[in-house]
Amino acid sequence: MADPPTRPQIGADEWVARSAERSAAGRARTWAEQTPAPIRYGALAVVVTLIALVPVMTSDEYILRVGVVSLIYALLALGLNVSVGLAGLLDLGYVAFYGFGAYGYALLSSSKFGVHWSLWETLPLVLGTSILVGFLLALPSRRLVGDYLAIVTLFFGQIFYTIAVQGYRVPLITFHGTHDITGGPNGIADVDDFRVFGHHLTTNRAYFWFSLIAVVVVFTAIHFLNESRTGRAWRAHRDDPLATELMGMPINWLKLLAIAVGASVGALAGTINAASLHGAFPDDYSTPVLITIYAMVILGGAGSLLGVVLGALTVNILLEVLRTPDHARWILYIAIVVALLAKVRPWRKLAAVLAGTLAFGIAVHAIVAAAWPRGVHGLVSISGTDFSNGGWFGWALRHWLVLPAHTYEEGQYTWFNVALVALIGLVLVLTMVRGWVRWALLVPTLWLAALVWETRLVEEGTGPTRFLLLGAILVVLMAARPQGFLGTHRVEIV
Amino acid sequence: MGGIHVLAGFDAFTLTWHYFFSQLVAGLTLGSLYALLALGYSMVYGILKLLNFAHGEVFMIGSYIGYFVLTALGGATSPNVSIPILLLLMFGAAMVGSGLLGVAIERFAYRPLRHASRIAPLISALGVSFFLQQLATLLFGSVPKQYNTFSLHNGSLFNRITIGAFEIQYMQLFVIVAAVVLMLALTQLVARTKVGRAMRATSFDLEAASMMGIDIDRVIVFTFFVGSALAGAGGVMNGLIFQNVNPYIGFNAGLKAFTAAVIGGIGSIKGAMWGGLTIGVAQAFATGYLSSAYQDVIVFAVLVVVMLVRPTGLFGTPALQKV
Amino acid sequence: MKKRTGIAFAAALVATAAAIAAATVGGSASPASASALAPSCKKAKIALTGPYTGPAASAGIDQRNWGRLFVSYWNGKKAIPGVPKGMKRTRLTTVEDDTQLNPQVAATVATKYRSDSSLLAVNGFSGSQENVAGGPILAKAGFAFVTGSATRASLTIAGTPDGKGIARHFFRVVPNDNFQAAVDVKFMMKKLGVKKGQTVMTLDSAEAYSVPLITLASSLFRKAGVKVDRQSQPATQTDFTSLAGKAVAEGAKGVVFATQVASNAQLFSEQLHAAGFRGKIIGTDGTFDSSQFKFPGAYVSSFSLDVTKVKADKAIVADFTRRFGKTINFGAPSWVAVQALAMAISKSCSDGKVSRAEVLRNVRKVNMPKSLLGKPVAFLPNGDVKGGINFSIFQIQEDHSYKLVQAG
């Protein structure tokens, strides 16, 4: 399939020319849509059951905690998907609803004001108030469109964060000094567990199941909403707001509804977060979290309910796995091999590239070993303070790459910074050339990538590397597959 | 009254002209910076309808380039060349460097997405933003770099000119004037030159412009170069007047500049200038007269008021929607 | 083309899942790690945490680097101030985690540590709110956790919501906010000549470190009859011109500024000067960094001495600079925190067996006659460091060095 034209072509109807691409792009989606409903729902039910069995199969608190956080993000992704994916409204203040739910629950069920309501009392109140706040946010949307609405919602999110942080000295409530409402930057601590039917949810396992049930319920509700008239109206608004308005649909009401639904789901996620964390802290509801949720929604495919849930689970689990340098190391090599497998055809070329990379590395290693012996006597980095021989895999790495002794352990990063910049340059050049030059350049690029990874990035693994990789993945994925995993390819009328 | 005192310190000293002018100047200085950044946003949006969230990082890199040039020339305490030459070299290097970075970002992160949905380039921009932030952390370290401009010429650059109740520091004057000069140059570029005409045509109607024989890709590259060069200049100014450079300054500056572009009417150059100045002045007045704690909230209130009165910004053209 | 990409995507997902499965089933998937599932005296595992990304990254990475340097000194049997020469050192291995100064991440990291049965103790958390969120999880898991930077006073007061969950498990080698506020206010009034009825501007940076500190300082000033102009500006706003203008216009005689970004303190001081302010400036211990905050005439309060100036630490600081670049002083207490853990582990391992509970008991009994910070270190029963009320005031000289003007 030819690459889509990057410049408008005179004489060619672009819409028609891109029809083939449109139908192919949604292949994952059309495949899903073509299987009969009972099989689809059955498959979903099986998957949900499997996930529900995870707390039974393991008692590892870490896995359960990661599961709880992932499910909370799945809820958030579902809620954001309603505004962005289904209705086409760019809501950049979504994290404020998340925080509102958390703080609302925290104020009503903690030792802060001595109020300890059960879940059945707080949840409706918090959800109701967040819907009202959503209406407030949606009011500007009556007059603003697109990017203008985006900026207003963005600031709305900033405002929530400022109020949360400064809320330890709120004046004017009574005319007598200031009052501590939100606890300021330290937040509200000692928030109660959920009290449902007399049970206290105290363990990660309990919150896991609660979140899973919440995800399933919200998923089903939004699915039915999406299949209804409202959903069709939203999709019409997303695809062409002007036409929708001219058709006589109540645009303002639709926007209000979309934002309100998103707000209530976000608030629900917030209450679960506050309860499982036993506290509400402002930094959990700041702009970086918003960006993470957006990344999940886009990668999963805005507009597809299953897609955003998958996106949320994948991104969060990926970030967690990348936390440990050991695991991160495997991820990189597996990703490279998989990418090569997918992109390099026929198999002869693939074998040539892999063999070439190995040979290149061994050759460079031999040359450096002869000229500067210390240059290859280094060890493999396991963590910031641990360097070891690394078993058989470490042996392979040490003989394939150039790991200098002590240099990188002692923080002399200059050469490796140069290598990092050179690697970025090489990758960019790779995207520009074609033909045999590309394959030839791929070999040193792969080797350099492994070298930079082992000497510089693994060490920084838990911090800068994670977000470096996330950024790179976002760029590459958008270039390769802009609609995300299961998203619909949006039709833009010129 | 303890409660009210927190929010509104309306003491006697705030009700003087001198105080008013001092806050105004502070706001104009800050606003000039925002305006320079907002111009880049507006120009790119005008042509591509794309919100370039990586623009803030270009600003950050420009600031770092200025720092490295300054250090290479001996640092602020004992520069090897005279001050005008020093400034010229810093600005030149930063503008060229940032321009090239902007062009590279367009080529590799946005061009493949030119016909995708609206959100894809946005996410790509976010990815580039993350990437550049962490790359700067890895290459330059997370400890802030300081320009130390208060040591330049023994601090005389920050002496004040006083005309009655009006006071302004030399450095503040320089920043405002330099920003105005750059913006005027840009306006002339867009209004008088052939390239400028091409830019205007492309932002009006991309397809028609290509049909008229304008090389769209060249125009877009040029736009990105100019916009990013302005951001680089803003980065150097940020260093000169606000001293500190760290990998995360781009994000916040970008956010404010984006707001400025929208307030002024995104796509409009005049709007970006006025939007930036509005935001800067609003922020300064909020801090000076009301409360530094809620300065963001107050700027937001101004934003909402402007948007509700003029939904497409101060100078934005109401978007004609083709049916 | 698109189909292959979709397959690649799916394959990557499957591979990720496989990696996770492999990782969780039998410890680490990589043969390159020593995946001991039980605590061991051959290679004792501790955790280092901090904000390695985000606006506080410079502070967190400095902490991490000091921790790394300590471990390499300890394992390399080099001389460490406060460690007796004859002490048998159990070899340490570390696991590092970026908490991003985010409590939710801290809680996840704490749960991860809880599940890791070979982990003995934790250096963390850096941020006060992280200790509120993640601390109780560590406490339930039986860990001792020692921090070099969380100074919120309520963390060591067992009756408060903050202190409830972490009592008897949380330790810090730096004093809490209450003491520093009192010392700063007293110094400004008694030694710097700020009198009743005059105005002082207090500024915090809207985050967990500075807000309680400045709140307390402001109320102490008010109690003494001084007018306080309380300001709060997030550290991401790097322009203080408006505030400088206000300080001059209101005739403030002094400024107290609490932030963890020393370069902001430098900028604020310079902008104050440029606006015509000639009063006294005090920066709190977050600004204690002679390479960044170097405004002559300003004062800095700090618990410890400047490690870059302590003679006994010269070689260690040189080593640090060679490996990691310049230190910003923020991370030096982390060296001491990790030292406390290391010494406790060695003591526990004297009988060949070690457990989290035993390490915890020995951390409580840690006693360093001297340390990198130039002071002896031992813990009170509530987790605070002994002698914590001793804050010193330094004045910045013309040559940018810090001169001790009031010993604590």
- List the single range of A317-326, C148-157, C288-297 with lowest mean pLDDT: A317-326
Chain A partners (3+ C-beta pairs within 8 A): B, C
Contact between B126 and A155 using a beta-carbon 8 Å cutoff = no
Tell whether the model's pLDDT for residue A97 goes beyond 90. Answer: yes
CB C90 within 8 A of CB C114: no
Would the CA dihedral through C355, C361, C363, C367 be positive or negative? negative
More confident residue, A418 or B1: A418
**Minimum-distance CB partner of C15 among A320, A334, A391:** A334
Paired tokens of B60: 């950050």
Please tell me if residue A144 touches chain B, with a CB cutoff of 8 Å.
Answer: yes
Amino acid B311: pLDDT = 78
Predicted confidence (pLDDT) per residue in B183-192, tens digit: 999 989 888 9
Residues of chain A with Cβ-Cβ distance to B129 below 8 Å are 471
CA atoms within 13 A on the CB side of A139: 10
**Minimum-distance CB partner of B130 among A147, A158, A470:** A470
Q: Counting beta carbons within 10 angstroms of the beta carbon of residue C316, is it exposed (0 to 12), middle (13 to 18) or buried (19 or more)? A: buried
Paired tokens of A97: 């609803």
Phi, psi of A386, rounded to the nearest 5 degrees: -115, 125
Interface probe for A, chosen from B47, B101, B115, B140 (most Cβ of A below 10 Å), is B115
Query: What's chain B's average pLDDT?
Result: 86
pLDDT tier, A106 (very low <50, low <70, confident <90, very high otherwise): very high
| Closest residue, chain A, to B111 (C-alpha) | A6
Kindly state the helix (H) or strand (E) to which residue C241 belongs, with its residue range.
helix C241-249
Predicted confidence (pLDDT) per residue in B244-301, tens digit: 998 989 988 888 888 888 888 887 888 889 999 999 999 999 998 888 888 888 888 8
Amino acid A222: pLDDT = 93
| Closest residue, chain C, to B17 (C-alpha) | C249
Angstrom distance (rounded) from CA C250 to CA C255: 12
Closest Cα in chain B, distance from residue C178 (Å): 22
Fold of A35-321: ABC transporter involved in vitamin B12 uptake, BtuC (1.10.3470)
Angstrom distance (rounded) from CA C37 to CA C23: 13
Query: Taking the CA atoms of chain A, what radius of gyration do you get in angstroms?
Result: 26
Please tell me if residue B154 touches chain C, with a CB cutoff of 8 Å.
Answer: no
- List the single range of B51-60, C138-147, C298-307 with lowest mean pLDDT: C298-307
Closest Cα in chain C, distance from residue B213 (Å): 32
**Residue with the two structure tokens 């830019």:** B199
Predicted confidence (pLDDT) per residue in A258-273, tens digit: 999 999 999 999 999 9
Amino acid A82: pLDDT = 92
- Please report which residue ranges of A301-381 form alpha helices under DSSP H: 305-321, 325-343, 347-371
Q: Does residue C125 have a cis bond before it (omega within 30 degrees)?
A: yes
Predicted confidence (pLDDT) per residue in A435-452, tens digit: 888 888 888 888 888 888
**Minimum-distance CB partner of C13 among A314, A341, A480:** A314
| Closest residue, chain A, to B305 (C-alpha) | A140
Amino acid C54: pLDDT = 78
Please tell me if residue A176 touches chain B, with a CB cutoff of 8 Å.
Answer: yes
CA distances A484 to A17, A26, A303, A320, Å, are 22, 10, 10, 21
Q: What does the H/E/C string look like for C287-315? A: HCCCCCCCCCCCEEEECCCCCCCCHHHHH
Please tell me if residue B22 touches chain C, with a CB cutoff of 8 Å.
Answer: yes
CB C150 within 8 A of CB C128: yes
Maximum mean pLDDT: which of A70-79, A412-421, B70-79, C28-37: A70-79
Contacts A–B by Cβ distance under 8 A: 180
Please tell me if residue A467 touches chain B, with a CB cutoff of 8 Å.
Answer: yes
Question: In 3D, which of B235, B307, B317, B236 has the Cα closest to residue B269?
Answer: B317
Predicted confidence (pLDDT) per residue in C198-220, tens digit: 999 999 998 888 888 999 999 99
**Residue with the two structure tokens 């958030």:** A76
Domain boundaries, chain B: 35-251
| Closest residue, chain A, to C72 (C-alpha) | A385
Closest Cα in chain A, distance from residue C261 (Å): 17
> pTM score, two decimals?
0.86
Residues of chain C with Cβ-Cβ distance to A71 below 8 Å are none
More confident residue, A146 or C51: C51
CB B249 within 8 A of CB B142: no
Residues whose CB falls within 8 Å of the CB of residue B82, separated by 6 or more in sequence, listed in order: none
Amino acid residing at C287: T
CA distances B185 to B35, B190, B192, B278, Å, are 14, 9, 10, 21
- Please report which residue ranges of chain B form alpha helices under DSSP H: 2-7, 17-48, 55-72, 83-105, 119-140, 170-192, 194-204, 206-211, 216-242, 249-264, 269-285, 295-309
Angstrom distance (rounded) from CA A218 to CA A72: 12
Closest Cα in chain B, distance from residue C336 (Å): 21
CA distances C306 to A456, A474, C50, C291, C310, Å, are 30, 43, 21, 11, 6
Predicted confidence (pLDDT) per residue in C29-38, tens digit: 333 333 446 8
Contact between A394 and C7 using a beta-carbon 8 Å cutoff = no
Closest Cα in chain C, distance from residue B181 (Å): 23
Please tell me if residue C2 touches chain A, with a CB cutoff of 8 Å.
Answer: yes
Angstrom distance (rounded) from CA B134 to CA A288: 14
Contact between B293 and C270 using a beta-carbon 8 Å cutoff = no
Amino acid residing at C398: E
Q: What is the mean pLDDT of residues C279-305?
A: 89
Angstrom distance (rounded) from CA A464 to CA A253: 44
Residues of chain A with Cβ-Cβ distance to C61 below 8 Å are 463
Contact between C57 and B27 using a beta-carbon 8 Å cutoff = no
Contact between C48 and A384 using a beta-carbon 8 Å cutoff = yes
Amino acid C18: pLDDT = 53
Angstrom distance (rounded) from CA A387 to CA A380: 5
Chain B partners (3+ C-beta pairs within 8 A): A, C
Paired tokens of C214: 């400045």
Tell whether the model's pLDDT for residue A320 goes beyond 80. Answer: yes
Domains and CATH numbers, chain C: 44-175+309-375 (3.40.50.2300), 177-302+391-406 (3.40.50.2300)
Percent of chain A whose pLDDT exceeds 90 = 17
Question: In 3D, which of B170, B174, B224, B215 has the Cα closest to residue B42?
Answer: B224
Amino acid residing at C194: V
Domain boundaries, chain A: 35-321, 327-459
Supply the ipTM of this predicted assembly: 0.87
Contact between C263 and B288 using a beta-carbon 8 Å cutoff = no
Closest Cα in chain B, distance from residue A201 (Å): 37
Contact between B22 and C54 using a beta-carbon 8 Å cutoff = no
Tell whether the model's pLDDT for residue A177 goes beyond 90. Answer: no
Please tell me if residue B150 touches chain C, with a CB cutoff of 8 Å.
Answer: yes
